[in-house]
């Protein structure tokens, strides 16, 4: 009589071995670092911020390109050269010469120096072949009834586009608030910005805004202008830019006199992810000063935090501050509000 095979222990050995083979097949790229370390995984892309490399043991890593000695890819990647030298889709093979890599599609070409590679698997905006879009919708609101009867709704939408040498943003925000059946706030703001980069960190901008706020005696405030800007920081962790120029401003009031004037304009944008990307802090402001009256200053600012909840949903808290150096008669110079809401990104 033949002994029964121990099928359960055999499965317990075969299954992990099979999973290991699948894992190795899925992460077959290899990176050799200048200190001798060897990493296995999958090349996602390479940008000026470094090499994005996905592993099955440490998640996705961001590796400084300067510490990469050579690398090998199991599948073709899109290689984009610096200084408009063109691009090529090819598998990369390890080279014996440090700081280089072999392009398997053109074996007759000597090993390519790594510092000549600008991108691996570039996005449409990085390659100059298209525009990347992303957007965000935020909604905040409250409603109380009983001893007090109040309601508030704040809706905000933003659309961003990035090209190789330009970017744009569109923003629309509206607020409606009632207390005891009486309207106490009603305003809307529309804004459009476009930047054209003349170098890596310098750009020329154009912008326009349209604003209506009955409780600040604004039937319509329209502004359009342009100027020069500096992109001081721009990476996955932090963004910081400043700009300044000239604006044309036209104000139509419900009660006060209308006016049209040229103005000195400015703008600041800052964002920063806190440790572990647990929350993103943001601050934005823009404004202008009447060329003929330095006390006639208009400022719009907002600052706050976005806290990721799940993949595309986030909680948001922000403070919004508006200032008018010369408000309409009977109105105050400043408006300050604190808002809590939910945001959806795509």
DSSP for 117-159, please give it.
EEEES--HHHHTS--EEEEEEEEEEEEE-SS--EEEEEEEEEE
Domain boundary among 93, 122, 151: 122
Predicted confidence at residue 96, as pLDDT, reads 87
Question: Which among 299, 294, 238, 295 has a CA at the least distance from the CA of 267?
Answer: 299
How does DSSP assign 31-70, residue by residue?
EEETTS-EEEEEEEEEETTEEEEE-SSS-EEEE-GGGEEE
Say if residue 154 is in the same domain as residue 187.
yes
Residue 8 domain-assigned (yes or no): no
Angle at 121 (CA atoms; ends 282, 201), nearest 5 degrees? 45
Say if residue 36 is in the same domain as residue 113.
yes
Rg (CA), the chain: 28
Residue 156 domain-assigned (yes or no): yes
Instruction: Give residue for tokens 């007759």.
Output: 108
Q: Which helix (H) or strand (E) is 25 found in, with range? A: helix 7-26
Say if residue 223 is in the same domain as residue 301.
yes
SS3 of 161-202: the string is EECCCEEEEEEEEEEEEEECCEEEEEEEEEEEEEEEEEECCE
- Taking phi over 0 as left and psi of -120 to 50 as alpha, with beta for the rest, 17 belongs to alpha
Say if residue 174 is in the same domain as residue 228.
yes
Residue 95 domain-assigned (yes or no): yes
Predicted confidence at residue 20, as pLDDT, reads 46
Residue 1 domain-assigned (yes or no): no
Say if residue 75 is in the same domain as residue 139.
no
Encode the chain (346 residues) as per-residue pLDDT tens digits: 434 434 445 445 455 554 444 444 455 899 999 999 999 999 999 988 789 999 988 888 889 999 999 999 999 999 998 877 788 899 999 988 999 999 999 888 899 999 999 999 998 888 888 999 999 999 988 777 666 678 889 999 999 999 989 999 999 999 998 887 788 889 999 999 999 999 989 999 999 999 999 999 999 999 999 999 999 999 888 999 999 999 999 999 999 999 999 999 999 999 999 987 889 999 999 999 999 999 999 999 999 999 999 888 999 999 999 999 999 888 999 988 888 999 999 9
Alpha-carbon distance of 241 to 259, in angstroms, equals 31
Residue 291 domain-assigned (yes or no): yes
Alpha-carbon distance of 299 to 35, in angstroms, equals 52
Q: Reduce the DSSP state of residue 10 to 3 states and report it.
A: helix
Predicted confidence at residue 337, as pLDDT, reads 87
Q: Is 289 exposed, middle or buried (0-12, 13-18, 19+ CB in 10 A)?
A: buried
Please name the residues in contact with 213: beta carbons below 8 A apart, sequence gap of 6 or more.
186, 187, 188
Predicted confidence at residue 338, as pLDDT, reads 87
Predicted confidence at residue 119, as pLDDT, reads 92
Predicted confidence at residue 18, as pLDDT, reads 47
How does DSSP assign 295-319, residue by residue?
T-EEEEEEEEEEEE-SSSEEEEEEE
Domain boundary among 122, 147, 177: 122
Predicted confidence at residue 275, as pLDDT, reads 81
Structure tokens at 247: 């604006």
Predicted confidence at residue 100, as pLDDT, reads 93
Say if residue 97 is in the same domain as residue 174.
no
Contact 265, 247 (CB under 8 A): yes
Question: Which among 223, 221, 222, 230 has a CA at the least distance from the CA of 195?
Answer: 230
Predicted confidence at residue 194, as pLDDT, reads 97
CATH assignment at residue 220: 2.40.160.40
Say if residue 162 is in the same domain as residue 310.
yes
Say if residue 293 is in the same domain as residue 199.
yes
Say if residue 116 is in the same domain as residue 195.
no
Residue 227 domain-assigned (yes or no): yes
Residue 127 domain-assigned (yes or no): no
Q: Reduce the DSSP state of residue 333 to 3 states and report it.
A: coil
Predicted confidence at residue 147, as pLDDT, reads 64
Say if residue 113 is in the same domain as residue 155.
no
Predicted confidence at residue 9, as pLDDT, reads 52
Domain boundary among 122, 145, 174: 122
Say if residue 171 is in the same domain as residue 251.
yes
Residue 7 domain-assigned (yes or no): no
Q: Is 286 exposed, middle or buried (0-12, 13-18, 19+ CB in 10 A)?
A: buried
Say if residue 51 is in the same domain as residue 186.
no
Predicted confidence at residue 121, as pLDDT, reads 92
Alpha-carbon distance of 274 to 53, in angstroms, equals 22
Q: Which domain holds residue 171?
A: 132-345
0.85 surpassed by pTM: no
The structural domain count of the chain equals 2
């Amino acid at each position: 009589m033949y002994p029964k095979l121990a099928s359960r222990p055999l499965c317990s050995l075969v299954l992990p071995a099979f999973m290991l083979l699948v894992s190795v097949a899925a992460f077959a790229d290899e990176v050799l670092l200048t200190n001798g370390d060897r990493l296995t995984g999958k090349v996602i892309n390479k940008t000026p911020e470094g090499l994005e490399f996905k592993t099955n043991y440490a998640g996705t890593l961001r590796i400084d390109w300067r510490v990469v000695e050579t690398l090998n890819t199991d599948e073709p990647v899109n290689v984009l050269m610096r200084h408009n030298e063109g691009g090529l889709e090819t598998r990369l093979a390890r080279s014996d010469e440090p700081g280089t890599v072999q392009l398997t599609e053109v074996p007759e070409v000597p090993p390519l120096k790594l510092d000549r590679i600008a991108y691996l698997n570039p996005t449409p905006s990085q390659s100059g072949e298209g525009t990347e879009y992303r957007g965000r919708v935020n909604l905040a609101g409250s409603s109380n009834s009983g001893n007090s009867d109040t309601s508030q709704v704040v809706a905000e939408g933003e659309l961003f586009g990035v090209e190789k040498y330009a970017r744009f943003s569109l923003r629309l925000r509206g607020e409606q608030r009632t207390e005891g059946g009486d309207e106490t706030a009603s305003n809307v703001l529309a804004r459009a910005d476009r930047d054209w980069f003349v170098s890596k960190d310098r750009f020329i901008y154009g912008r326009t805004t349209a604003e209506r706020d009955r409780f600040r005696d604004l039937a319509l405030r329209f502004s359009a202008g342009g100027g020069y800007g500096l992109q001081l920081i721009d990476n996955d962790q932090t963004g910081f830019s400043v700009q300044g120029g000239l604006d044309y401003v036209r104000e139509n009031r419900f009660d006060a006199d209308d006016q049209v004037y040229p103005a000195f304009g400015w703008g600041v944008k800052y964002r920063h992810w806190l440790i572990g990307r647990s929350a993103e802090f943001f601050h934005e402001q823009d404004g202008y000063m009447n060329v003929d009256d330095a006390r006639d200053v208009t400022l719009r600012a907002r600052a706050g935090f976005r806290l990721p909840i799940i993949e595309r949903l986030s909680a948001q808290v922000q403070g919004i501050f508006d200032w008018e150096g010369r408000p309409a008669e009977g109105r105050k110079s400043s408006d300050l509000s604190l808002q809590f809401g939910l945001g959806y990104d795509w």
